[in-house]
Amino acid sequence: MVDTQQLTMVSLGPGDPDLITLKALNALKDCEAIGVPTKSSDGSFDRSLTYRIVQSLMRRAGFERPIFPVYTPMRFREEDWQAQVERLYAALAEHGRVCFVTLGDSGIYSTVYYLLDRIAEQRPELYATCDVIPGVTSFSQASAHAKKPLCVGESQLQIVPLLDKELPTTTVYMRPKIGMSTEAIPEEGTMMTFEDLGFAGEKITEGKIPTVRRYMTLLIDFFTKDPHAV
Ligand SMILES: C[S@@+](CC[C@H](N)C(=O)[O-])C[C@H]1O[C@@H](n2cnc3c(N)ncnc32)[C@H](O)[C@@H]1O
């Protein structure tokens, strides 16, 4: 049994290994084992694009880590998420520092938050030290390929899953004017304010700040999950 356990959720980007971030690559280098999702119940990686990306990164960056399969059948069942977190708990007990990788960005329809929700409930001390590393989304890469903006000037971006039903929505508010009041911005889910992210003076506030202080401000109204939804 190891002393310290650290779980890092690593976004790999949309498929091209060159589109991984330095932070994500460093996390893979710094860990003791890498959990890779597979849709094969026998744990093989024959159909795993994620496995190929990780192998390519290790070869090119000159490092090797044991890879363990995490069976992710995409059936959206409670017992599957539980089996996945238990696989991660076992790997953490064996290796200490473990990464779990997913495609694209972990904030966009990824397995990561199904697992983190369960870890938060079952192992709050482990959850508190978990890191999530963001990545390039598939649609960012599509935009770059097409040389077309996703939004610019007087336009906005919508991400619509093809599910044919009304869905709770996350809304990102950006490009505010300094000094503007946030009073009129609707608050439907869980609002958070992010100022100067990644820069000196970074500030993250629960809720809306009343007045915008900096141009580099995002307000995000995170959707509230329907307890019956998958
Ligand atoms: C479960 S979502 C994961 C999205 C991913 N986390 C992201 O940041 O783009 C899978 C969907 O994303 C889109 N997608 C992901 N990777 C893609 C790729 N390399 N090419 C085209 N579409 C992709 C497809 O619409 C696919 O059905």
Whether residue 101 is found in the same domain as residue 28:
yes
Do 122 and 163 belong to one domain?
A: no
Asked if residue 160 and residue 59 are part of one domain, the reply reads no
Check residue 229 and give its pLDDT: 81
Dump pLDDT digits (tens) for 145-165: 999 999 999 999 999 999 989
Say whether both 13 and 122 belong to one domain: yes
Q: Which domain holds residue 71?
A: 6-138
Mark whether 127 and 62 lie in a shared domain.
yes
* Domain identity same for 118 and 83: yes
Residues 117 and 71 in one domain: yes
pLDDT at residue 1 tops 80: no
Indicate if 69 and 133 belong to the same structural domain: yes
- Written as one string, the DSSP assignment of the chain is --S--EEEEEE-BSS-GGGS-HHHHHHHHHSSEEEEEES-TT---TT-HHHHHHHHHHHHHT----EEEEE------HHHHHHHHHHHHHHHHHHSEEEEEESB-TTTT-THHHHHHHHHHH-HHHHHH-EEE----HHHHHHHHHT--SS-SS-------S-SS-----EEE--PPTT-B-TTS--SSEEEEEESTTSTT-EEEES--SB---SSEEEEEEPPPPTT--
The predicted model gives 36-58 an average pLDDT of: 94
Is 132 in the same domain as 161?
no
104 ligand 1 Cβ < 6 A: yes
Which ligand 1 atom is at minimum distance from the Cα of 105? 8
pLDDT in tens, 153-202: 999 999 999 998 999 999 999 999 999 999 999 999 999 999 999 999 99
Q: Which atom of ligand 1 is nearest to the CA of 15?
A: 19
Distance between Cα 131 and ligand 1 center (Å): 22
The predicted-structure confidence for 7-39, as pLDDT tens digits, reads as follows: 999 999 999 999 999 999 999 999 999 999 999
Residue 228: which pLDDT band, with cuts at 50, 70 and 90? Answer: confident
**Residue labelled with tokens 């202080």:** 213
Query: Which position has the token pair 């500030």?
Result: 203
Does ligand 1 come within 6 angstroms of the Cβ of 11?
no
Flag whether 164 is in a domain: yes
Residues of the chain with pLDDT > 70: what percent? 100
In a domain, 34, yes or no: yes
Mean pLDDT score of the chain: 96
Number of domains in the chain: 2
143 CB within 6 A, ligand 1: no
Q: Does the beta carbon of 134 lie inside 6 Å of ligand 1?
A: no
138 alpha carbon to ligand 1 midpoint, in Å?
A: 5
pLDDT score recorded for residue 191:
98
Residue 145 forms part of a structural domain: no
Question: pTM for this one?
Answer: 0.95
Q: Is the pLDDT of residue 226 over 90?
A: no
Residue of the nearest CA to atom 26 in ligand 1? 138
pLDDT of amino acid 133: 98
**Same domain assignment for residues 132 and 82:** yes
209 is a domain residue: yes
Tell me the mean pLDDT in the region 95-106: 98
Q: Indicate whether residue 108 lines ligand 1 (CB < 6 A).
A: yes
